[in-house]
Amino acid sequence: MLDTLIIGSGPAGLSAAIYAKRAGLSLAVVEKNAVSGGQILNTWEVDNYPGLPGINGFDLGMKFREHADKLAIDFIEGEAVSLTPGSDAHRVKLDNGEEYEAKTVIIATGAIHAALGVPGEDTFMGKGVSYCATCDGGFFNGKETAVIGGGDVAVEDAIYLSRICSKVALIHRRDELRASNILKEELLNTPNITVYWNSIVKEIRGEAAVSSLLLENVATKETSELSTAAAFIAVGIRPDTAIVRDIVECDEGGYVIAGEDCETSVPGIYVAGDARKKRLRQVVTAAADGANAATAAADHINRH
């Protein structure tokens, strides 16, 4: 039996693994992808992780993994498909049929950004296509950018970008925003933001990087091309928490509710990173969650 089993190998999971190993716990990390690092692997540059400004997202993910490898942390390839809590141990089953028991479990499965599913989106990922304005907006200082979406996140992103970009286009498929009234008012009163109503993105275009968007008006079916250096996609995000959604307390969106120690409503089960309900979801907060979760798990084991 393991002291702790960590599900997920992004910044939260790897940070948890490092702290758990340093605490002397027996552990393993379950990773369903071929490469550790999580969503950060798709980020062209990371300019807000302390001490490593401008580092490539893939390189940062590899540095996290190298740190874990130096500590001889065990990794298990597979996807966790079920979690059965117990009084003394929790049992996790993988998609290959293997089962593991651990005194504590740390859920670090992250969240998944909804994609547009249009040509060019994958091609220009990290080269003008982004799902996080606060992460990548600074790379487009003084340039024209576009945000796709109509909810709170999209409107907040557009307002944020308006402070550092020359122009911001907000592209929304309906004739009314879903965002809160106070955000809508601020957006509509910001002079360098233009809203493209009843519009959808049909294609993201460019050569080495994003240079324009092909738009279609859903009412008239007319198409137009919008010049932009970046497309910030904010059409939704969902936590990858299906494995625990019926076990621990979650909010209406499926994010796991946990305090600063990252312990969920079930003793011995912890959550770290983007799967946790919190205000800011970035690499630095994911790593912090991992450290807190592992430390709390070690305390739990010592108490029991």
Q: Is 19 helix (H, G, I), strand (E, B) or coil?
A: helix
Give the pairing type, strands 210-217 and 223-227.
Answer: antiparallel
Concerning whether 165 is annotated as a catalytic residue, the answer is: no
Catalytic residue among 74, 95, 122, 136: 136
Concerning whether 132 is annotated as a catalytic residue, the answer is: yes
Concerning whether 250 is annotated as a catalytic residue, the answer is: no
**Rounded distance, CA 281 to CA 231, Å?**
19
DSSP annotation string for 177-244: --S-HHHHHHHHT-TTEEEETTEEEEEEEESSSEEEEEEEETTT--EEEEE-S-EEE-S-EEE--TTT
**Rounded distance, CA 106 to CA 264, Å?**
10
> DSSP assignment, residue 298?
H
Catalytic residue among 132, 165, 250, 262: 132
**Rounded distance, CA 207 to CA 70, Å?**
40
Catalytic residue among 3, 59, 74, 135: 135
Interior CA angle at 106 toward 100 and 110, to 5°? Answer: 115
What CA–CA distances, in Å, run from 279 to 157, 211, 268, 285? 14, 31, 24, 10
Instruction: Report, as residue numbers or ranges, the catalytic residues.
Output: 132, 135-136
